[in-house]
Amino acid sequence: MRMTNQRKEIIQILKKSSQPKSAEMIYDELPKKTMNLSTIYRTMDAFFQAGMISKSTMNHTAFYYLNQKHHHHYLICLGCQKMYEMDCHIDHIADEVAKHHHFKITHHDMTVYGYCEHCQTQN
Ligand SMILES: [Zn+2]
Ligand SMILES: [Zn+2]
């Protein structure tokens, strides 16, 4: 994938962040508004296809995060919408399934939804 300056800027924003970010949040953090939202969405799709980022969806909004050395996923609370980082436990299973289907996995995507401890006690 060609790394234009625009793409580098987006990667920098994701690198600095400890939480997944939506395209709107990324747009807000761009130092210079050199790209519009639809460019950001297209760029995020390209990153996703290339396996550079993962995404979790909440309320029809995608939140993106970098695939780093420490591969991880998110638990998303449907009550307070907090995102909790979790370790990946499916790499091993994915490998077995891939072998069975003679499938070459480049990356995978997973989000777990539910209610956090705090929100469970609200009901
Ligand atoms: Zn919650
Ligand atoms: Zn994983």
Whether 46 contacts 82, CB under 8 Å: no
* Segment 99-108, tens digit of pLDDT: 999 999 888 8
Residue ranges with CB less than 5 Å from ion ligand 2: 88
Query: Amino acid identity, residue 51?
Result: G
**What CA–CA distance (Å, rounded) separates 40 from 97?**
33
| Distance between CA atoms of residues 103 and 58, nearest Å | 29
**What are φ and ψ of residue 65, in 5° steps?**
-145, 155
Burial 59-75 (b: 16+ CB within 10 A, else e): eeebbbbebeeeeebbb
CA gyration radius, the chain: 16
Residue appearing with tokens 């987006």: 10
Measured in Å, residue 14 CA sits from the centre of ligand 2 at 18
pLDDT of residue 14: 95
**Could you tell me what percent of the chain has a pLDDT over 90?**
63
Predicted confidence band of residue 92 (pLDDT cuts 50, 70, 90): confident
Quote the pLDDT of residue 107: 83
CA of residue 22 to ligand 1 center, whole Å: 19
Q: What is the pTM of this model?
A: 0.77
Ligand number nearest CA of 79 is: 1
Ligand of minimum distance to the alpha carbon of 85: 2
Give me the pLDDT at residue 43, please. Answer: 96
pLDDT digits over 21-76, tens only? Answer: 999 999 999 988 889 999 999 999 999 998 899 999 988 999 999 987 778 899 99
* 72 DSSP β-pair partners: 87
Grade residue 109 by pLDDT with cuts at 50, 70 and 90: confident
